[in-house]
Amino acid sequence: MDSLLVKGGAPLHGEVTISGAKNSVLPIMAATLLTAEPCTIRRVPELSDVKFMGQILTSLGAEVKFEDNTLSVHAGKIKGVGDYDLIRKMRGSICILGPLLGRLRKAKVSLPGGCVIGSRPIDLHLKGLQALGAKISINGGYVVATAPRLVGNDLFLGGRSGPTVLGTGNVMMAAVLAEGVTIIESAACEPEVVDLAGFLNTMGAKISGAGSPTITIAGVSELHGADYEVIPDRIEAATFAIAAAATDGEVTLLGSRPDHLHAVLDKLREAGVKVERRGPALTVRRGGRLKPVDVTTLPYAGFPTDAQAQMMVLMALTSGISIITERIFEARFMHVSELARLGADIAIEGPSAIIRGGKPLSGAPVMASDLRASAALVIAGLIAKGTTLVKRIYHLDRGYENIDAKLRRLGARIERAAES
């Protein structure tokens, strides 16, 4: 297991190319199960989650090849039982349930794993699939679904914390091969849902309304192969933007989608960060003294929960009191105790973190609890005095493509080391 050694005090300068979106790639990979024809997916990041999903597809009978950020999948003949040891490692693997049910009319998929950031039940996934006619039971840690017929229906996917992104994708993938029309109300509006719909439509699906709370799917009898390029990763872009501001550097993000980053860029500007947009490129630099801000995470197009931890580090630098309220996951402040080891003054009150910023950070050994917490600890290490050892960075490798190499090219003093 690797760690990262981060020596603080070096501002980030230069250009960084944003990789393809992990949260788009995984469901799009799953969607290749809907056709017996070959599919090609481009701008695929080299991540452990992508590797795991490729192994899952292979275990189902698909042929998978990955080279130069291009993924080829041929699911000519597949089975409907997912491998427990693979699926338990990654929550995103639950998105194979909809495609298997859509194509084979049966599926047996183990309950998934992933980051420990609070309860993320799949009840809305199951509710949506049941509305299409599936019979579902949970036996021995597996979701068992059967559906001699899938029939379009009107269904509501709103949950306690808002719409479900993976649930919307799962239902959408099953509905494309259902009879009749399916209307999903309170659908997730995230760009990754729009991207999945774009891929499915390229395969011959008939989906409209993606990106809005109402998605309409007219079922078709079959889908064909497709060649598709995924969108850039908005959370990676947000992470590098925040890192540029935190280190008092200047970084240009190449190949980003500023239209997917409105909430993050708005809060950065409110905090005194300068953001210049030139087409798909964004240049981010600190514009002077940082100002405290209040942030509340919300479903898209609100401030993303996946950028909450990184923003907390920036506010820990900022003199004054900032408040970050987490409305998506109830256990997503596990990074707070690790930031405190570096000297941050943060108190938790219910769903809110109260940050009394402006105190200097000092390097120390810290432990990553989840993917985005890992990124936050790396940013904190970049600005702390001395050396920070970030342990358990396998979380980082799940969602950031070569983040240490990208940071080094921007001037960061960061090295990967094997843990003893």
Residue 419 has pLDDT above 90, yes or no: no
Q: Which residues are identified as catalytic?
A: 115
Q: 115 falls in which pLDDT band (50, 70, 90)?
A: very low
Q: 420 falls in which pLDDT band (50, 70, 90)?
A: low
Q: Within 10 Å of residue 42's Cβ, how many Cβ atoms?
A: 13
What is the average pLDDT across 313-323? 98
The DSSP bridge pattern shows strands 365-367 and 387-391 to be: parallel
Write down the residue that tokens 């049966």 correspond to.
106
For the stretch 136-148, pLDDT in tens is 998 888 899 999 9
Q: 282 falls in which pLDDT band (50, 70, 90)?
A: very high
Out of 49-58, 111-120, 166-175, pick the least confident: 111-120
Residue type, 169: G
What is the average pLDDT across 205-218? 98
For the stretch 352-363, pLDDT in tens is 999 999 999 999
For the stretch 381-407, pLDDT in tens is 999 999 999 999 999 999 999 999 999
Give the pLDDT score at 279.
86
Among residues of the chain, what percentage have pLDDT more than 70? 98
3-state secondary structure of 56: helix
For the stretch 137-193, pLDDT in tens is 988 888 999 999 999 999 999 988 889 999 999 999 999 999 999 999 999 999 999
Strands (E), 344-407: 346-349, 352-357, 365-367, 387-391
The DSSP bridge pattern shows strands 181-185 and 214-218 to be: antiparallel
Give the pLDDT score at 300.
97
The Cα–Cα gap between 22 and 372 comes to 13
Q: Which long-range contacts (CB under 8 A, 24 or more apart) does 61-66 make?
A: 62/32, 62/33
The DSSP code for 112 is P
Write down the residue that tokens 């008092």 correspond to.
248
Residue with the larger pLDDT of the pair 220 and 118: 220
Q: Which fold has domain 22-229?
A: UDP-n-acetylglucosamine1-carboxyvinyl-transferase; Chain (3.65.10)
Among residues of the chain, what percentage have pLDDT more than 90? 86
Q: 113 falls in which pLDDT band (50, 70, 90)?
A: low
Backbone φ, ψ for residue 417 (5° rounding): -135, 145
Q: 35 is written with which tokens?
A: 């056709």
- H/E element holding 178? none
269: left (phi over 0), alpha (psi -120 to 50) or beta: alpha
Out of 46-55, 118-127, 365-374, pick the least confident: 118-127
Q: 180 is written with which tokens?
A: 């009749």
Q: 111 falls in which pLDDT band (50, 70, 90)?
A: confident
Q: Under a CB-based contact definition with an 8 Å cutoff, are residues 387 and 364 in contact? A: no
In CATH, the architecture of 2-19+232-418 is Alpha-beta prism (3.65)
Residue 238 has pLDDT above 80, yes or no: yes
Q: Under a CB-based contact definition with an 8 Å cutoff, are residues 340 and 313 in contact? A: no
Q: 99 falls in which pLDDT band (50, 70, 90)?
A: very high
The Cα–Cα gap between 276 and 179 comes to 48
The closest alpha carbon to 379, from 248, 234, 232, 268, belongs to 248
Whole-prediction pTM: 0.96
Give the pLDDT score at 82.
82
Residue 408 has pLDDT above 70, yes or no: yes
Residue 131 has pLDDT above 50, yes or no: yes
The Cα–Cα gap between 115 and 307 comes to 15
Give the pLDDT score at 331.
72
Give the pLDDT score at 214.
98
Out of 78-92, 206-220, 297-311, pick the least confident: 78-92
Residue 319 has pLDDT above 70, yes or no: yes
Residue 10 has pLDDT above 90, yes or no: yes
Give the pLDDT score at 142.
87
Q: 220 is written with which tokens?
A: 């078709």
Give the pLDDT score at 118.
41
3-state secondary structure of 225: coil
Out of 100-109, 114-123, 203-212, pick the least confident: 114-123
Give the pLDDT score at 116.
41
The Cα–Cα gap between 257 and 16 comes to 14
Give the pLDDT score at 42.
98
| CATH 3.65.10.10 domain position(s) in the chain | 2-19+232-418, 22-229
219: left (phi over 0), alpha (psi -120 to 50) or beta: beta
- H/E element holding 172? helix 165-175
Strands (E), 327-395: 346-349, 352-357, 365-367, 387-391
Give the pLDDT score at 227.
98
**Which residues, 6+ apart, have CB-to-CB distance to 390 below 8 Å?**
3, 4, 6, 366, 368, 374, 377, 378, 381
